[in-house]
Amino acid sequence: MKKLLIILSLFISYSSFAQIPDLERVEPMFWFTKMHNPKLQLLVHGNDIANHEVKINYPGVTLTKVNKVENPNYLFLDLMITASAKAGKFTIEFTVKGKNKLSYVYELKDKSTDKNRIQGVTQKDFIYLLMPDRFSNGDKSNDVIKGLKETNLNRDSMYYRHGGDIQGVINHLDYLKELGVTTVWMTPEIENDMHLASYHGYAVTDHYKIDPRFGTNELYKKYVETAHAEGLKVIKDIVHNHIGSNHWFYNDLPMKSWLNQWPVYTQTSYRDQPVMDPHASSADKKKMLDGWFVPTMPDLNQRNSYVQNYLIQNHIWWIEYAGIDGLRLDTYPYNDAEFMADWEIKLKAEFPHLSIFGETLVSTVASQAFFTGGNTVNRGFDTHLPGITDAVLKDAIYESLNGKTGWTDGINRIYATLAQDFLYKDPTQNCIFLDNHDMSRFYSMVNEDFAKYKMGMTMLLTMRGIPQMYYGTEILMKNYSNPDGLVRSDFMGGWATDSLNKFTDKGRTEKENEAFNFVKTLANYRKKNEALQSGKLMQYIPENDVYVYFRYLPNQPKGTVMVIINNTDDDKRLDTKRFSERTKGITKAKDIFSEKEMGISELEIPKKSAMVLELN
């Protein structure tokens, strides 16, 4: 029975080859000269293409091997591109016994020589995460694309397309600059030709194509260039683990092992523990890593060398083509660890300044640190992953705002969490956040308590790490992730028909403007203060439910920032003698919000407040 299932699976996978063109596609569709790695593997897809002989004649380019696989509709061509190869076009010829000639004009483009083009993202930056479909509709002509599987445009439903696009983001880069943002991260923009909920971007159906409802490849490149011209950086969100079930190669697999296959459908356990548990069973680990995320997201087999090359080259192609500054890696713990380490090495070899952080929605500091680079003792190899999305610090901030004080609870949770930073090689490369597109919004999670909102945003923008804010948090957008997905609501003002325009102060309520200006003041101050951008963190054990920490530059007391969190119902008087290690020789400070100067020997801290002081 099992053998029959395999045969049936292969028949279904390969049965459509007669319906595809003789030469359907070549990927990557073009490449670049003078790359660090001279090797390139082309995926060629076409009707019975494996029966063709292949010839290439171009100076500096050698066809070293023609790889045939299970499906005769594929060839994988290994090329060597030497340093002497020049930019230009050449023909790849496909013939059958010298006849039935097919050809593809391939192009080599010059690799960029601008060393500052790819800037990287550090804790100097402030990331703004948005979903392009829900942010702004800048081009109504691409709202509905005929021929795609989803042609519904319905802003009243959270599961259909709303019409936002890349042009809409370009149109509001000035808004982000005013707010103090330095980096834009969009959820994936590449094609998701799925029947339902195609807007989120995490079910790719074409790795080399921007979804036409968002724009074109050329527009995406323009978006990156425009952002750079405006002094903004760009992060691209990428998915290694899975594809969408309407991906073009899912319907005609190169080989059965292209995916993680099971006798019957098997879903991942979503449990990260077996990956790191020294006592775990192989079965539990396999289910976690090889199980499919959901039925419509087939799981890629990253142990397959052809899959490895395909993903590595695709990500290199996008970075070089568009000039992207950083990558966010979706569902990082679900990927094959050895492959991901190799992937990191190869991408950093091409782009040394590229920044990378992985999504790790796990529950402990140790679990997060397990996935980061430098933990060779525990893993036996180095993952080379610089940073992660710091969900544990997020939970600690929530506990500090919503919890009751205990030995490691309430405000003490955040101290205890940061005290474990020794587990990371470099915790400053972690991306810190309060919410995102997969979870309830921050303002709702603090019960729409504006005092808690300000304390949370203060910690986000003054803590160690790279701060990320979800779109609309600056104007108090709210709602919970269940049951209706309203955390992905539209940003009002992004559509011409909107009754209010939240991109302007006139369109915002008084409270929304207060929130916007609070974030704007702190974010823009952060851009000027070196201690917040690159300084060290020193924290003190909370006393009387007051938490104090400093950001400072060693041997440079000027510009030191003192942050005080008082999440109690009482005003507090703070004797600063305890902090002499950081305040020695300093008698005055400036409140960055009121810009008032004050003495620091003893401070009055209002109830339910965050105070940010620049020592001088």
Q: Quick check: is 330 catalytic? A: yes
CB 379 within 8 A of CB 337: yes
Please provide the DSSP assignment of 295-318 as one string. Answer: TTSPBB-TTSHHHHHHHHHHHHHH
Quote the CA–CA distance of 608 and 96 in Å, as a whole number: 78
Q: How far apart are CA 176 and CA 503, in angstroms?
A: 9
Residue 277 falls in the annotated catalytic set: no
CA angle 197–200–201, rounded 5-degree value: 110
Among 211, 290, 299, 359, the active-site one is 359
Task: List Cα–Cα distances, 173 to 88, 118, 532, in angstroms.
Answer: 35, 19, 24
- The number of helices, as runs of H, and strands, as runs of E, in the chain is 18, 26
**In terms of Cα–Cα distance, which of 98, 172, 108 is closest to 134?**
172
Bridge-partner residues for 569, per DSSP? Answer: none
SS3 call for 604: strand
Kindly give the interhelix angle for 510-526 and 450-462, rounded to the nearest 10 degrees: 20
Contact 185, 223 (CB under 8 A): no
3-state SS of 69-113? CCCCCEEEEEEEECCCCCCEEEEEEEEECCEEEEEEEEEEECCCC
Q: What is the rounded distance in angstroms from the CA atom of residue 236 to the CA atom of residue 323? A: 10
Q: Which of 125, 290, 330, 614 is catalytic?
A: 330
- The answer to whether 306 and 45 are in contact (CB under 8 A) is no
3-state helix, strand, coil in the chain (%, to 5): 35, 25, 45
Whether 608 and 452 have beta carbons less than 8 Å apart is answered as yes
Q: What are residue 610's phi and psi, to 5 degrees?
A: -120, 130
368 closest CA partner among 295, 252, 272, 497? 272
d(CA 563, CA 596): 15
Q: How many CA atoms lie within 13 A of 42 on its CB side?
A: 27
Q: Which residue has the tokens 């304390």?
A: 455
C-beta atoms surrounding 39 within 10 Å = 12
CB 460 within 8 A of CB 446: no
Q: How many Å apart are CA 5 and CA 325, to the nearest integer?
A: 45
Q: What are phi and psi of 578, to 5 degrees?
A: -60, -25
DSSP 405: P
Distances (CA, A) of 224 to 142, 170, 318, 414, 467: 20, 9, 11, 36, 20
Q: For the purposes of burial, counting CB atoms within 10 Å of the CB of 105, is it exposed (0-12), middle (13-18) or buried (19 or more)? A: exposed
For tokens 């979800």, the residue is 470
For the annotated catalytic residues, the residue numbers are 330, 359
